[in-house]
Every structure is written in structure tokens, then in C-alpha cells.
Structure 1
């Protein structure tokens, strides 16, 4: 009798490999698990996208603040005469025989304070 059962099992396993059933069973179980948790996965994915959006908005806001602060600092910076290299520009009014020179307007430069005054 033991030999008959062994023969039957061998015949059954050769005709219907157990690995196919295990794969089928595993796929069915995984599908059931995925279906059971599909809603949870969708919610977590939605939360993740919302968190990324919030982080992006915060980063964008921080960069805008940084740019505004930098702009404000530049606007508040005091300029002195010593911060510039003084160069005299001249316009040439050549009429063939001789040349006449007139200096360009330097009023903005003259209005700047000197570091020594402060």
C-alpha cells in the first residue's frame, strides 16, 4: 500500500508540478493583499505628494525671502567715492583744425560722501 501511495504521489507530481500551484497560490495571495491595501497605498501616495508640494512651496518661499533680503541689503549699502575708480571721460569736438574737449557730467560722483567724512 505504501508503494501505491508513493507511485500515486510521484505520478501526481510529474503530471501536475507543485511549483506551478505554489506560484499560482502565491500570486493569488499577493493579489488579495494588494487589493486589501490598495486604498491605504493610494492614501499614502496622496499624502506623500501633498508633503512634497508643501516642501516645494516652503523652499520657493525661502528663496524669495532670501532674494528680497539680498536686494534690501544692496539697496541699503552706502557707496563712497573711494569705492570707484575715478576716470575722466572727454568728448572730442573735432572740426578739422583743432580739437576742443569738454568733460562729461560727474555730478553723481561728486554727491557721494567720502569715507573720511564719516
Structure 2
């Protein structure tokens, strides 16, 4: 597990458009019933992490390299290394943009527009 977290994340995660090394119960069965998952994410300058939630876990993120990480946008000129710990062996993920704008059945455009207007 440690060696996987030490190497560059060359494994693409297509649903997020990032590279990540994920250590969870699928990678290491010994984590079963331990309630932990760890993710290493290498972010290029100006990368964007989609807004998301983990319905079955809480995520604690640590940014290792220098840079500014706010509102899921990386404002730096060098790569960032992000380590995330989740308190679940299978945290699940819900992508916010996909659940709002690409829902099935689709949400009516009028409903979406009215909910995004500041009153």
C-alpha cells in the first residue's frame, strides 16, 4: 500500500479527468472491515476537481506541495500532490454536476434556471 502511494498517479480516473492511485478494499482485501481508503491524486496546474460527495464516508484531504487549493480549483504553477483519507472501505462517489445537469430523467431547463438565479 505504501509503495503505491509513493509513486506518481499515472492511473487515469476518467469520470473525474484526473490521475489517481486508489488504495481501497478492491486493491487490498486486507482493508475489509477496517473502514479506510486512501487516494493519491496528482494535479496539474489549473486542473479542476469536480464537485463531489462521498455518501458513505467523510474525506480528509492534505495538500503536500505548495499551492492554493480553493473551491476545487488549483491555482498554482507546479503540480500538487493531494492525499485523501476516507473513513470507509467503499466510500462511493456522487458527482454534483452529473447529478444536477445530466440527470435521468432530465430536470426541466426552467426548473434548473430558476434554482440557479439569485433572489
Q: TM-score, normalised by structure 2?
A: 0.17
| Higher share of residues assigned helix | 1
**Structure showing greater Rg:** 1
Q: TM-score, normalised by structure 1?
A: 0.17
| Higher share of residues assigned strand | 2
